Every structure is written in structure tokens, then in C-alpha cells.
Structure 1
Amino acid sequence: MLTQYQQFFTGRPTTEIAQSLLGKMVKYKTDEGIVGGYIVETEAYLGEHDTASHAFNGRRTGYSESLYGMPGNIYLYQIRGHYCFDIVVQDVEEPQGVLLRGMEPTLNIEQMKANRKMTGVNITNGPGKLVQALGIHSRDLDGQPMETSALTVDLQDFKIPREIITTARIGVNLKAANGLSPRRFYVKGNPYVSNMKKRDMDIENHGWED
């Protein structure tokens, strides 16, 4: 029997889950206190039939085993020297996930600046950046259920996006069958969305409803 928390991450299309995560709060308990912020950008990965997925064509390794776990589990992986935070969605043995690509820092911002040695939007406007800002430097959390982990998404603490934009994903093989599929979602105008141009930023409200 799935908990109410786990049920949020299954029972509907992964693209819907990815959109519903926008505005939810990421929290990570550290020795320096809780750090975190609001999710502003996500990407959906649809498992064995998605050319951009780590599970495409039934590929299954010890590295990606966590993708086959319970909905709401953490899939923490490394790519090009950076760690990325992916949330397992759908039922066990259905390896679909949602990548967190951007986060608006809110909790303990000064600590996240120190973790990144950066200021401004560069603190968290990318998948590797936000994980580094949280202070995560290993895969120790991989496979853990967020409900009981130091790294979690608080579904009760959220903002509501005024408008959600849908595009193709970033950093995938655009020539592959699903390369241009519309599976990236972000809060329109939020400055912490990756590659957001200054002219498109909503400096006053950051794309949230009042």
C-alpha cells in the first residue's frame, strides 16, 4: 500500500507529475541547517521507450537500479562531473523519472551561495548547480525514499506558477526519436530557470501568482 506522499508520484502521466512539481519546495537537512527552494524547472523521462532515458531499450545497470524503485524515491546520478537530482515516478519496475533542472533558492541562501561559491541566478539555475548548492557531493542519498530522507520535496509548501512553458529537453540527443519531444517544463519568467534570458525574466514576481 502506497503512502499518500508516494501516491503523488504515480497514477498519472509523468509529464503531469513533472508540471505539478513546479512550485513545490525542495528541502535538505544539513549540519548547517535546512537549505532549499522552490522548483522552477523540470524534465520528464518516460522510461524504456524514451530515447533520452537511462532506461531506454530496457537498459538496466547497477548505476540506474534506483530508477526501478518506489515512486517518490531519489535517483541521484552523476554526469560530466556533476550530480543531478531525479525523482522516481510511476510504479515499481516502471523506470520513469523527473529531473529537477532549476530551483529558486529560499532557505538558508547564504549557505547555498557558499556551497556554490557563486551569487545571483547562477546559484541554482541548472541541474548540477542546484545539487551543488544544496551541498550534495556524492550518491549516498541514491535510492532513498524522499518521505524519510534528509533530501525531500515538501508537497505542502508551495507557490503556484502563473504560467507553465513547455519545450524540448536540454542536453539530450536532438536527433533521436524523442529528442524534440515536449518534456521540459518551467515557470515562465522565473530568473532561476536555466538559460533564461534577462529580457524574459519577471524580476518582480518571478512568475508566481500573487
Structure 2
Amino acid sequence: MEELPKDIVPLQQDFYEQPTLELAMAMLGCLLVKETHQGISAGFIVETEAYKGPGDRAAHSYNNRRTARTEVMFHRSGLAYTYLMHTHCLFNVVSGGEEKPEAILVRALEPRYGIDIMKTRRGLEELKNLTNCPGKLTKSLGITMEDYGCSLTHPPIYLAKGFYPESISVGKRIGIENTGEARDYPWRFWVTNNQFVSRHQKFEYEVNLKP
């Protein structure tokens, strides 16, 4: 069974205290790790989408909508918000702080550890298609609704340091056409030219992070 290098440790609470848009960009390149009885699987986050709560018509918590599904969004940052979309479980990181229900959807990963486990779970051999959309990545890593509300500062699910992107692309979010002006907010972020991004589309601008 593949093991992670000993220097891969969970990011701590202060990482998640960043403002939501900043956190969505900071998460790019981080390693998302999930431990299960089958083993450890992990991938680098290469695409995120930010949802800014009560004033964002695309957010589940728009107008402070508080339901059994959105309850975790009203709690502290750095918790897992999982929900079902059709038959797929999607994984989000709670942000914004208590009583400020915001979250960041992880849209795509670059597979790194436990790739054989991912292939078995997906019934696929092609690396590119294992984790290149929100529903695929959760199935590949074994993320389920049981992870709802879990703290991301320790196993079984957490973020760790990974790589630092040279460039980040910024554009509109995907699949939210019926949300009025919110559909045009440039709150989708991805590692420029990364082959595992879910959908390559026109970007609003790029952020060059080279020194």
C-alpha cells in the first residue's frame, strides 16, 4: 500500500481563515488527501470555484438559506461541505467564518498518490479522466457524504502543501446559467494550462505568480 512522504502534513486552521476569494486561489496546488480502509489517495487541486454566501445567487446559502444541507456553511472555516448533485457527491471547503456561509468547490485534481486505488474505484485506466471534474474526483478519492462536516486539519480528509502554481487563470463559474448577475462573477480559478482542469474556456485574466 502506497504511503505518503513524512513531510506531508495537514494545513492548520489559520490557512482557512483567509477571505474566500484569496483562499480559493491559495488552494490551487495544495494536496487534497483522503484516507480510507482501502488506502490513501491524493491529488493536487488544480481548479476551484468560490461561492460567497448570502449575496451570491449561485450559492446554496443565498439569502442566508439555512437548511440541513447548508448548516455546515454557517460554522467555522476549514470544514468539509459535501452534497449530492444528481448521483454525484461534490466536495467543498467551508470559508468565510462563523455565521458567514461561504464555500469553495474543488472542481479538479491532478492525481498524485494512490492512483491504482483511484483507477479501481472509477474502473478506468486513463489518468486524465480520473479526477477532472467534481464528481469524478470524489469517487476517485473515496470522498462521500460521510465526510460532511469533517475538519480538514487532520485525517481522514485534509489539505497539505503541494506545489506553487506559476500562473493562475481566472474566469466565470460553470453550470450556473440561471443565477442572474452571479453567472458572470469571475470566481473560478485554475492552474493555467493544466491538463486536468475540468473545462478549458476563455479566461478573464491571468495572475502570474513567478517571482
Q: Normalising by structure 1, report the TM-score.
A: 0.86
For 1:85-124, what aligned pairs fall within 5 Å after superposition?
85-118=91-124, 119-124=126-131
Q: What 5-or-longer segments of structure 2 have no aligned partner?
A: 1-10, 202-208
Where does residue 204 of structure 1 map in the other structure? none
CA distance 1:111–1:164, shift in 2 (3 Å)? same
- Cα distance in 1, alignment partners of residues 113 and 33 from structure 2: 8
For 1:41-60, what aligned pairs fall within 5 Å after superposition?
41-60=47-66
Contact 2:31 2:45 in 1 (8 A): yes
Q: Decide which of 5, 13, 27 is 2:12's aligned counterpart.
A: 5
Is 2:93 the partner of 1:74?
A: no
Aligned length: 192
Where does residue 166 of structure 1 map in the other structure? 170
CA distance 1:196–1:114, shift in 2 (3 Å)? farther
Cα deviation for residue 146 of structure 1 reads 1.1
Contact 1:103 1:193 in 2 (8 A): yes
Structure 2 SS opposite 1:173: coil
- Cα distance in 1, alignment partners of residues 33 and 66 from structure 2: 29
| Alignment RMSD | 1.7
- Cα distance in 2, alignment partners of residues 158 and 98 from structure 1: 18
Contact 2:131 2:196 in 1 (8 A): yes
- Cα distance in 1, alignment partners of residues 99 and 61 from structure 2: 11
Structure 2 SS opposite 1:182: coil
Q: Decide which of 53, 68, 71 is 1:62's aligned counterpart.
A: 68
Q: Decide which of 134, 138, 144 is 1:127's aligned counterpart.
A: 134
Is 2:186 the partner of 1:182?
A: yes
> Which runs of 4 or more aligned residues in structure 1 lie more than 2 Å from their structure 2 counterparts after TM superposition?
none
Contact 1:7 1:71 in 2 (8 A): no
Q: Normalising by structure 2, report the TM-score.
A: 0.86
- Output one character per residue of 1:162-187: Cα deviation in whole Å (capped at 9) or x when no partner: 11000100111255121110000000
Structure 2 SS opposite 1:169: coil
- Cα distance in 2, alignment partners of residues 162 and 80 from structure 1: 35
Contact 1:126 1:194 in 2 (8 A): yes
Contact 2:51 2:59 in 1 (8 A): yes
